[in-house]
Structure 1
């Protein structure tokens, strides 16, 4: 653990990004989605006196990198949190014809802006999609983007939550039914990884083994894949063709730094 992590004292945190950081498919007690960022905020708040930690979550599902930069990064300039998590560009990488080199250049421009207004920046790499139908074909682009993200972190003194190396999320139970967003347990494991990446001690291990379960037969896997394609993949493709986003008309769930 380096000196920065040993002396880390965070009184406020703002989460930036898309559906991953908004927390889709992790229902919270207030009826809104919670997600790994909310869970990380709770861990950080537990280290301080009651009411002495403030948290904002500016992430909105479906946002592309330029939208995150235009809508969310300027809010950091205004609220000046101690910690920012900046996880963006994944939706850009999923788009046909996107160039991970070019996306990374725009990501670093945003990091340079964020550095002026916060003390600590944590970025997340993309997941390894080798076990994900359809998305496994984008594995090379994601790996290229991840290489850029690690280099950006090195150049700019950012912390990194390396989701590519998180083997526990290769289990199907880490993902919700749509296979694009994490399940509650998946969000918890990412929160634990993020906490560890910040040098915080945690009682649980993000790589803890999953409980044993019966193996699916090939026929069961085929049926499940067909159901998933009808329920989730085809509507997702349809939205892309129509130029629609799941985040249209959605606003940030926690736009201000408020006590947690």
Structure 2
């Protein structure tokens, strides 16, 4: 982790990725999704009260790694920001038959391009899905991919926000009802982790304990799981079978580097 005493004071930040970075299920005051990247941008902007901080978020839900590399990564060369966050490949890993070794090779190719144009590149590992229904069987693939991302970061001088180690997101309250995207509090904890990974002082602890609440009974859990499957899992599978994406016809919410 960077030394908090070191001065990291970027004037521009570009966020790349998919629904995780777009900020799904974290509604902002303007009606659009906010998310951890917007929250991190706010922390960085607060450090520059002169208004000299600019931010762009190019992430679009449902995007695969190759789409992000083709659509978003070249924009970094044009913008040349001080900071880029690059969280990608999760949607590829979720697909049956995907190879985390091969996905990691394509991830590193994109990182090499980003390092040519950005001052600092922060990458995020995947979450530990051991407590997530359906996704827990992908835990081994995610762990393999995470190992590659750490090695890629080491080789290319990138900063890592280690989401796998973030134990506070094992609480159900860190996730929205669809169980695939973070809740507002989950996004806040990821933003704090990212800020701390960059060496920024943060007043809140991303691992702060959650308020106590009773655990649901087995019967309540079964009812919740059935309702979740009907509302979210079956439509998600249907889109996969039809070759559709939740990001079809969706554009980046903040495509230009503008004052925050």
Structure 1 position 181 matched with structure 2 position 181: yes
Question: Residue 108 of structure 2 corresponds to which residue in structure 1?
Answer: 108
- In structure 1, list runs of 5 or more residues that go unmatched: none
Alignment of 1:211-226 (within 5 A): 211-226=211-226
How far is the alpha carbon of 1:7 from its aligned partner? 2.9
Aligned partners of 1:5 and 1:198 also within 8 Å: no
CA–CA distance in structure 1, aligned partners of residues 219 and 174 of structure 2: 22
Q: State the aligned residue count.
A: 260
Structure 1 residues 5 and 82: CA distance shift in structure 2, 3 A: farther
Structure 1 position 194 matched with structure 2 position 194: yes
Question: Residue 27 of structure 1 corresponds to which residue in structure 2?
Answer: 27
Aligned partners of 1:25 and 1:181 also within 8 Å: yes
CA–CA distance in structure 1, aligned partners of residues 147 and 175 of structure 2: 24
Q: In structure 2, the residue corresponding to 1:16 is in which secondary structure?
A: strand
How far is the alpha carbon of 1:181 from its aligned partner? 0.1
Question: Residue 248 of structure 1 corresponds to which residue in structure 2?
Answer: 248
Structure 1 residues 2 and 21: CA distance shift in structure 2, 3 A: closer
Q: In structure 1, the residue corresponding to 2:20 is in which secondary structure?
A: helix
Q: In structure 1, the residue corresponding to 2:62 is in which secondary structure?
A: coil
How far is the alpha carbon of 1:49 from its aligned partner? 2.5
4+ residue segments displaced more than 3 Å: 1-5
CA–CA distance in structure 1, aligned partners of residues 159 and 2 of structure 2: 11
CA–CA distance in structure 1, aligned partners of residues 2 and 104 of structure 2: 26
Aligned partners of 2:4 and 2:201 also within 8 Å: no
Q: TM-score, normalised by structure 1?
A: 0.98
- In structure 2, list runs of 5 or more residues that go unmatched: none
User: What is the CA RMSD across the aligned residues, in angstroms?
Assistant: 1.1
Aligned partners of 1:120 and 1:158 also within 8 Å: yes
